[in-house]
Structure 1
Amino acid sequence: MTTAFRAVLAFSLLAGFYVLVGVILVAAVFFDVLLLVDFHAAALKVAIVLTLAAGALVRALFMVGRNQGGELPGVPVGREHEPALWQAVEDLARRVRTAPPDEIRLVPEVNAAVSEDTRFLGLRATRRRMFIGLPLLQTLTVDELRAVLGHELGHYSGAHTRLGAPVYRGRVSLIATVQGLGNHPLIQRLFAGYAKLYLRVSQAVSRRQELEADEFAVAIGGRQAMSGALRKIHDTSLGWDLYAGDYLSLTGVGGTRPASVFGGFHALMNDPGRQAEIARLGERPEEVSPYDSHPSLADRLAAIAVLPEPEHVPDPRPALTLLRDPDVAAEAVERSMWTPEALAGLRPVPWDELVAQGMYAARNAEALHDLAVAGQRVMGATRPYLDAAFEAIARGRQAELAERLRELGWKPSETLLAGVLGQALEAVLIQLGEARWTLSWSGPARLLFEDGEEVALAEYAARVAGDPEAVAGLRQWLGDHGMRHDYVPAEEALPR
């Protein structure tokens, strides 16, 4: 399939979409005019449906048009900032016989990509950009990075990026249109069917383009470099998902953010426990769909294996050696991740402090505060003393206590009181300096006593919640740890 045929196919499908929109608009106008000339009840029903559908179509396309553009991700790096990186990219561009990008941007993503601003439906290019993910620089060798960047420049050489803009706009427009027709099921089914056809064809074109770009990559770096890069990118993406879900998600809780995003990611990716977990995740079968924009990893590796091996001098150095100062680059990319409000309002802290504060705020602070408030309401205390909740349990008023917790937003369950009590007791130990949430790159954070023993209060809290006579022992235990009977949780301990 030639590039010219792909262009005709993409533009034809895109044009067909707008022709379909035009047919609906013309039909709506026709029936509206028909009603003015010769009114019929049957025509009125059709006119109402078509007019409402036409309005929904115009609104969807208008919203798509308004949402184009936006701020570019990452930070731009000029030749004066990163001469070695620019030299490598320009050398690769000559190898694939294309013009180099006008701009290189380092981004906080496990990805590398190119884009091209175009005019006249992609027939004329105006500005080229290359995006290089800093996590890739942390993970790949120079050889592997050269293969990846050669792949991206191959998209330029094959004119893939010129087709990308109109094809992408077509996808966005079709999806927005289908979503905007929710109140018009008949018209929605029509556009949904066309959208499926368009996506299947356009994504098949995209998959073919990826394989063509892989050929450029192998011609530059060799089969081993490109295969290794693809495997590492796959594993690094899995690691980044774990990192974002288990660690970066603590950002903002307790008014803090990590002082070193990429330093933390490097630590996670080098932890033996996480490496084993990522290896297990990487062995799972890939889900393949005709709507995928990229071929499966297995298909790409199989296609690479039969390509000719070029002659080249290996360069196993870490890809970070292409940066003048990796720490300065990482700091700049990290700052691009945060909004101005986050930079101003969230305090940068080391990961161990972020985990300690974030876990306390996310798991313990609300439980401690709400249990005290529930005890105050049940016992009629003047202030939210935690001991008031203990007194309610001692008097057998657990059901009332649980009801007050539900009023405060806790989900009903048979173990509600025991769960909140356990989390509140953890909070007391943390407030008294007896325990602390401890960072682990191998898995979830652990709450440990000062001697390293893990805090395990779930069974004890369940026993106290079900036995009023156990409250005396609880009070004694907390007193031994330094808690006063008139202890009132601080309001500032609540999550922000």
Structure 2
Amino acid sequence: MRSSCRGRSRLDVVHARLARRLTVTALAGFVTIVLAVAGGVGVVIWALQAGWHAEDASGRTLYWLGAAVMTLGVCHLLVLALVPAPQPQGIPLPRGVAGALHYRIDEVARRLGVPPLDGVWITDEMNAAVLQRPRFGCFGRIEYHLMIGLPLAHCLSRRQFLAVLAHEFGHLVVQRRALGAFGAHLRAWWLRLADQIADYHPLLESWLDRRFYRYTLGMLRMTRLEEFAADAIAARVVGRRLLGEALIEVSAKDRFLREDYWPKVMAQCSSAPEPRFRPFREMGLGVSAGFNAHSVLNAGFRGGEEEAASLHPTPAERLRALRVPACEAVPPERSAAIHYLSALLPRLAWAFDRHWWSVTGRNWRRSYRRARREGRSPTDRA
């Protein structure tokens, strides 16, 4: 891999300016809540002291009642404010059982100058992400957790997978601007606080929407810029052609899984009380055997109204920013899942298949019984 370049582009400057503005807004909200809690605690202490020294019983009762009400208000404010960051999801992957994968992850992190990871997790999603969270949910040292989707690993070669890792670590590099990792956590916390208030007080939801509109729009704009900035950082490490190749594979095969593989899995519910095969166990074979690169690729990178209106950059926009053509077919290679996780694939697939059936099984059986009643089952027709 290439060494990273430390130069800052105009995109970096615009993103950093927007990140600083949003961080200042979230920091002002944080300071306001801290002052409100401190002021509430001060009022409680004053009311308790005033009640203790009150000359008549009615005055003492009034002061202590006020202290109790203020205590409840402070506690409620703390409940609203102490919104823990999301927990990492998936199956933890210790170093001892996937040493080669951890070595490559550490190498990419070192080249980009990001902190060592606190955990690596395998998920059942077609995605990869780095989660930053305080150790104790709301406070403590910022931890870094990498979540890797098993479907994603099935869909990419080893080199493409490393390009995706470089992109995800590029997000960390970008997000550490404006008060660093604490700033990124603070900006996300301010949005979680709005959601928490709306959950506890539904009548305030419309007011919160208006109050947080500009902040939310700024966060969405920053997310869009962050994708381009992370792509640029990753391209300096692995090369823009490899990163574009990985982006094409992810986009095309994600569409294949959503529009072809999973619909065919679920179509069995009209003729079988249980699936004839386990979807996660057979996913690697399904991707390699069923994916038609040319047809899915050409269908997946045509611009449309939905893409133009999206606040998140489309694959076509990211490829244009990388100056990589979208029409290059990639010859099949051994997947990253087989390269890095071959010994673990049976256990991972078993766990994800079991979880998938626990979520889907009831609706599956209900669809099967309905199909038999309506006479759509091939057995009934025979």
**Fold similarity call, TM over 0.5:** yes
SS at match of 2:145: strand
CA contact 1:268–1:274 (8 Å) conserved in 2: no
Q: Which has the larger displacement, 223-232 or 90-99? A: 90-99
Shift in CA distance, 62/157, structure 1 to aligned 2, threshold 3 Å: same
* Cα distance between partner residues in 2 of 1:124 and 1:286: 44
CA contact 1:76–1:105 (8 Å) conserved in 2: yes
Aligned to 1:280: 299
* Cα distance between partner residues in 1 of 2:319 and 2:367: 45
Structure having the higher Rg: 1
SS at match of 1:259: coil
1:226 to 236, 243, 248: 243
Q: Specify the code of the residue in structure 2 equivalent to 1:149.
A: L
Shift in CA distance, 118/333, structure 1 to aligned 2, threshold 3 Å: farther
CA contact 1:211–1:303 (8 Å) conserved in 2: yes
SS at match of 1:80: helix
Aligned to 1:14: 26
Matched length: 322
* Higher RCO (CA 8 Å, separation ≥ 6 residues): 2
1:282: Cα distance to partner? 4.5
1:194: Cα distance to partner? 2.1
Aligned to 1:486: none
SS at match of 2:282: helix
1:101: Cα distance to partner? 1.2
Aligned to 2:148: 132
Q: Specify the code of the residue in structure 2 equivalent to 1:76.
A: P
Shift in CA distance, 284/3, structure 1 to aligned 2, threshold 3 Å: closer
* Cα distance between partner residues in 1 of 2:307 and 2:367: 41
Aligned to 2:329: none
Shift in CA distance, 222/199, structure 1 to aligned 2, threshold 3 Å: same
CA contact 1:107–1:333 (8 Å) conserved in 2: no
CA offsets 1:365-413 (integer angstroms, 9 cap, x no match) = 3x1xxxxxxxxxxxxxxxxxxxxxxxxxxxxxxxxxxxxxxxxxxxxxx
CA contact 1:251–1:257 (8 Å) conserved in 2: no
1:146: Cα distance to partner? 1.2
SS at match of 2:148: strand
Instruction: Give identity over the alignment, percent.
Output: 19
Shift in CA distance, 157/428, structure 1 to aligned 2, threshold 3 Å: closer
Shift in CA distance, 24/278, structure 1 to aligned 2, threshold 3 Å: farther
Shift in CA distance, 188/16, structure 1 to aligned 2, threshold 3 Å: farther
Aligned to 1:203: 220
CA contact 2:167–2:230 (8 Å) conserved in 1: yes
Aligned to 2:167: 151
Shift in CA distance, 129/272, structure 1 to aligned 2, threshold 3 Å: closer
Matches within 5 A, 1:204-283: 204-242=221-259, 243-248=261-266, 254=273, 258-264=277-283, 266-267=285-286, 270-271=289-290, 276=295, 279-283=298-302
Q: State whether structure 2 residue 314 is matched by structure 1 residue 296.
A: yes
SS at match of 1:323: helix
Aligned to 1:165: 185
1:131: Cα distance to partner? 1.2
Shift in CA distance, 90/182, structure 1 to aligned 2, threshold 3 Å: closer
Aligned to 2:133: 117
User: Normalized per residue, which structure has more helix?
Assistant: 2
1:197: Cα distance to partner? 1.0
* Cα distance between partner residues in 2 of 1:224 and 1:212: 16
Q: State whether structure 2 residue 375 is matched by structure 1 residue 428.
A: no
Aligned to 2:68: none
CA offsets 1:248-283 (integer angstroms, 9 cap, x no match) = 586898366853424146415632679736743543
CA contact 2:227–2:313 (8 Å) conserved in 1: yes
Q: Specify the code of the residue in structure 2 equivalent to 1:261.
A: F
Aligned to 1:82: 98
* Cα distance between partner residues in 2 of 1:290 and 1:166: 28
**Unaligned 5+ residue runs, structure 1?**
27-54, 307-314, 348-356, 368-419, 435-496
Shift in CA distance, 178/122, structure 1 to aligned 2, threshold 3 Å: closer
* Cα distance between partner residues in 1 of 2:266 and 2:289: 17
SS at match of 1:109: coil
Aligned to 1:101: 117
SS at match of 2:96: coil
CA contact 2:161–2:246 (8 Å) conserved in 1: yes
Shift in CA distance, 305/268, structure 1 to aligned 2, threshold 3 Å: closer
CA contact 1:101–1:128 (8 Å) conserved in 2: yes
1:322: Cα distance to partner? 3.3
1:364: Cα distance to partner? 2.7
Q: State whether structure 2 residue 316 is matched by structure 1 residue 364.
A: no
Shift in CA distance, 262/12, structure 1 to aligned 2, threshold 3 Å: farther
1:228: Cα distance to partner? 1.1
TM-score normalized by the length of structure 2: 0.66
CA offsets 1:38-70 (integer angstroms, 9 cap, x no match) = xxxxxxxxxxxxxxxxx9xx9899478577545
1:13: Cα distance to partner? 2.7
1:156: Cα distance to partner? 2.7
Matches within 5 A, 1:381-392: none
Q: Which has the larger displacement, 95-104 or 171-180? A: 171-180
* Cα distance between partner residues in 2 of 1:279 and 1:267: 20
CA offsets 1:85-126 (integer angstroms, 9 cap, x no match) = 111111111211223312111211111110122379999744
RMSD, matched Cα: 4.6
Moved over 6 A (4+): 18-26, 58-61, 119-124, 249-253, 357-360
